[in-house]
Amino acid sequence: MSESVPVITLDGPGGAGKGTISRLIAERLGWHLLDSGALYRLTALAALRHEAALDDADALAELARHLDVAFLAEEGATRVLLEGDDVSREIRTERTGDAASQVAVVPAVREALLQRQRDFRKPPGLVADGRDMGTVVFPEAPLKVFLTASAEERARRRYLQLQEAGVDASLSSLLKEIQARDARDMQRSVAPLKPADDAITLDTTRLTIPEVVDRLTEWLTERGLASAT
């Protein structure tokens, strides 16, 4: 049964490094990867495309239940398709991210996506990246990590990403957006953003990506989920 398949959960606010770290850990272990945030971003993008109001719970839940999505792993990256269109870049925009944060507070949407997320749990294991992976979706996971970083550092990282992509951005505006999104995620009534009671919190503000990966690998080895190298 899927309950016997090991799961590592990585939760935390946007910009803490969850996506990159989760992908690297999944590649190192040869496990499956769940980017739960992508499902909420896809629901939000579908709502924007179909002109559904972001506070229309019934319409949003219907979209979430019938999302036509596909994740295609290609050369170290993942292509994301929505209704046949490659939306890999579009779901990462600030507009979609802000809409996703609004959609994620709707209980009916979270309920609609819950089983869909759990279905990613397949042998040999799963690395689950999100905001409520350890608290709600996989509460029995043997290793739960809560990645965080200062809002200022997360805004700086996003600013550099946008610059590298040739997108103009305001660092001060990005900081305000991140702070607003954090508040919305932490204050929502259903599955608020917080560490699981048995999660290990890791502040990545002053850590490099390799340092974070090494730290997680140590914890995995201690729990018998990875071989010592």
Model confidence over 9-43: pLDDT tens digits?
A: 999 998 899 988 998 998 889 898 898 989 999 99
In the structure encoding, which two tokens stand for residue 44, read together?
């939000």
> pLDDT tier at 215 (50, 70, 90 boundaries)?
very high
Q: Which helix (H) or strand (E) holds 43?
A: helix 36-49
- Give the residue numbers of the binding site for ATP: 12-20
- Give the residue numbers of the binding site: 12-20
What does the DSSP 8-state code read for residue 90? G
The whole-number pLDDT of residue 1 equals 46
Q: Please check whether residue 2 is in contact with residue 138, taking contact to mean a CB–CB distance below 8 angstroms.
A: no
Looking at the DSSP assignment, which residues form a beta bridge with residue 77?
Answer: 74
- Quickly count helices (H) and strands (E) in the chain: 8, 8
> pLDDT tier at 184 (50, 70, 90 boundaries)?
confident
Q: Please check whether residue 134 is in contact with residue 196, taking contact to mean a CB–CB distance below 8 angstroms.
A: yes
Q: Each residue of 93-147: pLDDT tens digit?
A: 889 988 998 998 899 999 999 988 998 899 999 999 999 999 999 999 999 999 9
What mean pLDDT is predicted for residues 68-97? 85
Q: Please check whether residue 92 is in contact with residue 82, taking contact to mean a CB–CB distance below 8 angstroms.
A: no
Residue 91 in this model has a pLDDT that exceeds 80: yes
Closest CA to 14 of 38, 50, 48, 46: 38
Q: Please give the radius of gyration of the chain, using alpha carbons only, rounded to the nearest integer.
A: 17
What mean pLDDT is predicted for residues 182-209? 91
Residue 229 in this model has a pLDDT that exceeds 70: no
Residues 43, 100: Cα–Cα separation, whole Å: 7
Closest CA to 146 of 127, 160, 165, 133: 133
Domains in the chain: ranges and CATH: 2-219 (3.40.50.300)
Is the model's pTM score more than 0.95? no
User: Given the structure tokens 């029995």, which residue do they identify?
Assistant: 140
Compute how many other C-beta atoms are within 10 angstroms of the C-beta atom of residue 58: 10
